[in-house]
Structure 1
Amino acid sequence: MTAAVLFISLVVLLILNVPVGIAIGLACVVTILSFGTLSELYVAQTLVTATDSFPIMAIPLFILAGDLMGAGGVSRRILAVANAFFGRITGGLAIVTVVVCMFFAAVSGSGPATVAAVGSMVVPTMLQAGYSKSFTLGLVAAAGSIGVIIPPSIPMVLYGVTTGTSITNIFLGGILPGMLIGLLLIAYVYYYSRKMGWRGTQESFDGAKTLRLMWDAKWALLNPIIILGGIYAGVFTPTEAAAVASVYAFVCGVFIHRELLPRDIFRTVARSCATTGTVMVILGCASTFARILTIERIPSSIADLILQFSLHPIVLLLIILLLLLLVGCVMDTTPAILVLAPILYPVVTSVGVDPVHFGIIMVVSLAIGFITPPLGINLFVAARIGNSSLGPVIQGVVPFVIVMILALVVIAYVPQLSLLPLTLFN
């Protein structure tokens, strides 16, 4: 009965279009008042204790770092270097878009932030070069979802905190899956561009010019090396790396590139605070939701129920993939991880799935939700950047969704992709 009241009230509130974080919190209040097993103050207490965590400090810091990098000229310099290497290939601008999104993913940790930072630069250029609006916006939305797959990644931090899995190990596990998705997107972009006759730039390769661009972008190119290298070398923790990334982005934007003006600093920090506030409300309420589930032993009951069917691990994993893809369509990544991870974690680990491997499966599955309606936040960001309605974006993103689902199947059933880096570094 507790589970029924908790989930039914949540669904009703979401149908009434109540903001996700508030809906989760109200569902917890309704459940507590209905059964009286916990104090009415429990929600307020958990809102504080759930966010009072050293690993969770990485979330606002990575959000701030991503916003500062976008405003401080980092993205533009990375784009110039990528264009120098890949711009002459068939579909060059589209390939450059994927490459830049992969690079920006290694410093931002956010899908929508990657779409906003990269899309604002490449969308006007691609449209002017003759690429169709639906293809351009669909590509930017899809490539931006890599922002949460290639580490550092905010959803990976949440999964690690929720399940007690090493965040550093999850970061390591995301490297090859993120690269695989990027390469598959590039392969499709090349095929489709060749079919449509979208050629690259006619300029011949200029080594001297490329070296100048690389020199100008040296601080931007060093960024992921410093952040990820510091984490994997044990110099600092993921949370400390987020702080380093924020300071590094600030120094680059203000003192080196000199593109981050005082008025831009306040506007950027304000935007980061607004995003952080939203995420923290969701985090606090979802933690209360998860704790009520745990107190009532609902995750273990669900795990026992599922395991009674004696499903083969391959079939069980397929069912979980379908569930995560469905949830990603209607729920944001943060609450989805916080609600579902405690439920699914004991199920998959009981059949021998590695916690790191499952974390990557969960993040990739929910990342696809960034580009699937009705929620699909990357779709809305891309539409806003392209001054378009959602129709062309959804039309253009369909083939990219198929490509990413194919990549997800490979990632799910070839665990070595996620676990090989752990073997090499540990």
Structure 2
Amino acid sequence: MIIIILISFFVLLFLGMPIAFTMGSVTVGMLLLGDVSLELMVQRMFAGVNNFSYLALPLFILAGNIMGKGGLTKRLIRLANAIVGKLSGGLAMTSVVTSALFGAVSGSTVATTYAVGSVVVPRMKEQKYSNAFTASLIGPAGVLGLIIPPSITMVILGITANISIGELFIAGLLPGILLTTLICVYAGFMSKRKGYGVIEQEKISGREFLEICKEAFLPLMTPVIILGGIFSGLVTATEAAVLAVLYGFILSLYYRELTFNNFKGIMVTSAVTSATILVIISVANAFSYVLTANRIPAMISDFFLQYASTPIQFLLMVSLVLFILGTLTEVTSLIILLSPIFMPVAMQYGIDPIHFGMVLIMNFALANITPPVGLSLIAGCSITDKNMGIEDMFPYVLHVICIVAIIVLVIIFVPSISTVLPNLFG
């Protein structure tokens, strides 16, 4: 039975079937083989999303889309350019810093790539950055929206693995800053080596810099409001998502860049994105039932306990598993399927839940940029050149993958990077 499940799953996946339909097809097949009523699948699917906390997902997605279309991106780009624009590879660094800043107000990986890329990519082409370098930078930089709070991925992981969403949010700050810094250093080094970009000679006066900071101040207050509301105990993560939508809407009206037609498009896009994620979550819950009924989670747990004698070995083995599976499927299904399996084992090793959560988050970020299924790579290609494929991003994309992999190892071996802020504010 176990062999049938695994072979069916990977065969359908390699044939190109969407992950939700892959899990659903295998689930239906296994229930029929076990002579179990398909009503059970419907019940499990409903139970998978029958959680009040999941309301935060469409709300954070809506907030990010409103902010992307409401004029916040331009102000964040100006601030990032004022900070790093004068350096070698300044525009490339600006795209990375802006992705970090926008990630702090949107929480979405792909939304960050498109919001920042739509403005920055045309300017990078004007400054003679190659398409391969541009796509390999703007796509992976979008994963900063997954790491820096608020993060939609952290919401899903927190609910699925029963980890505090607020503590996950604040735990992502230091890893996010570290990754931003390393990618900026790489962007500057590679730009200087290849002769990409133009160093802007025009200096920004102190008054102009203060004006830029003033314009960017209100957008940058978004994570402060969200995290402050959660840690003060005034709101839950779901209620904080409501505040994010309201605040983004008010700012967009204040900047007068949100039209009625734009708003209609935002609502449709947010609804489709939310539905896609929730369908995966619901089907994954039914699929998890089939796995549990066939004792696959117990077998995986026994395997780790037998071959990993230390917490570090366990975390390295988990990272290897996620790296392999991350090349085959997208992040949401990995969270729903594997985090309930891995979390109890991590507790047996005495690993801090927040530390383990950040190890998973960083691995999910890596999964987003590993071909052939890395959504951030696909988004980077799409925003740079619609005829561009992931294979055209080499070798630059390998460099960025190595940078993210290094951060994964740093988080594994230095737990305090993940836990110091939650412990301080907890």
Q: TM-score, normalised by structure 1?
A: 0.95
Mapped to 2, the partners of 1:164 and 1:44 lie a distance apart of 23
User: Displacement, 1:310?
Assistant: 5.2
**1:207-256 per-position Cα deviation (integer Å, ceiling 9, x unaligned):** 22222223333321222221222222222111111111111111211x20
- For 1:402, the equivalent position in structure 2 comes to 402
**1:165-188 per-position Cα deviation (integer Å, ceiling 9, x unaligned):** 111121122111111111111121
Counterpart among 182, 185, 188 of residue 187 in structure 1:
185
5 Å-filtered alignment, 1:53-202, equals 53-197=51-195, 198-202=197-201
Moved more, 6-15 or 123-132: 6-15
- For 1:220, the equivalent position in structure 2 comes to 219
Mapped to 1, the partners of 2:79 and 2:171 lie a distance apart of 27
- For 1:386, the equivalent position in structure 2 comes to 384
Mapped to 2, the partners of 1:88 and 1:310 lie a distance apart of 48
Mapped to 1, the partners of 2:15 and 2:189 lie a distance apart of 43
Moved more, 299-308 or 46-55: 299-308
User: Displacement, 1:377?
Assistant: 1.2
Unpaired runs of 5+ residues, structure 1, are none
Counterpart among 317, 322, 325 of residue 324 in structure 1:
322
User: Displacement, 1:295?
Assistant: 4.3
- For 2:228, the equivalent position in structure 1 comes to 229
Counterpart among 328, 338, 341 of residue 340 in structure 1:
338
Mapped to 1, the partners of 2:138 and 2:409 lie a distance apart of 22
Amino acid at match of 1:248: Y
User: Displacement, 1:46?
Assistant: 2.1
Moved more, 15-24 or 64-73: 15-24
Contact 1:65/1:249 (8 A) holds in 2: yes
Amino acid at match of 1:423: N
Give the secondary-structure state (helix, strand or coil) at the position aligned to 1:234: coil
Runs of at least 4 residues of structure 1 off by over 4 A?
A: none
**Change in CA separation of 1:417 and 1:214 when aligned onto 2, cut-off 3 Å:** same
Give the secondary-structure state (helix, strand or coil) at the position aligned to 2:307: coil
User: Displacement, 1:112?
Assistant: 0.8
**1:354-382 per-position Cα deviation (integer Å, ceiling 9, x unaligned):** 22111111111121122211101112211
User: Displacement, 1:287?
Assistant: 1.3
User: Displacement, 1:296?
Assistant: 4.3
Mapped to 2, the partners of 1:222 and 1:356 lie a distance apart of 25
Contact 1:13/1:23 (8 A) holds in 2: yes
Contact 1:137/1:396 (8 A) holds in 2: no
Amino acid at match of 2:181: L
- For 1:18, the equivalent position in structure 2 comes to 17
Unpaired runs of 5+ residues, structure 2, are none
Mapped to 2, the partners of 1:315 and 1:217 lie a distance apart of 43
User: Displacement, 1:73?
Assistant: 0.8
**1:314-357 per-position Cα deviation (integer Å, ceiling 9, x unaligned):** 23322211111111111111001111112222222211222211
5 Å-filtered alignment, 1:224-303, equals 224-253=223-252, 255-303=253-301
Mapped to 2, the partners of 1:332 and 1:375 lie a distance apart of 7
Counterpart among 29, 37, 41 of residue 43 in structure 1:
41
User: Displacement, 1:297?
Assistant: 4.0
- For 2:30, the equivalent position in structure 1 comes to 31
**Change in CA separation of 1:8 and 1:128 when aligned onto 2, cut-off 3 Å:** same
**1:94-129 per-position Cα deviation (integer Å, ceiling 9, x unaligned):** 111111111111122211111011111111111112
**1:3-62 per-position Cα deviation (integer Å, ceiling 9, x unaligned):** 3333332222212222111111121111111113x4311111222222121111111111
Q: How many residues align?
A: 423
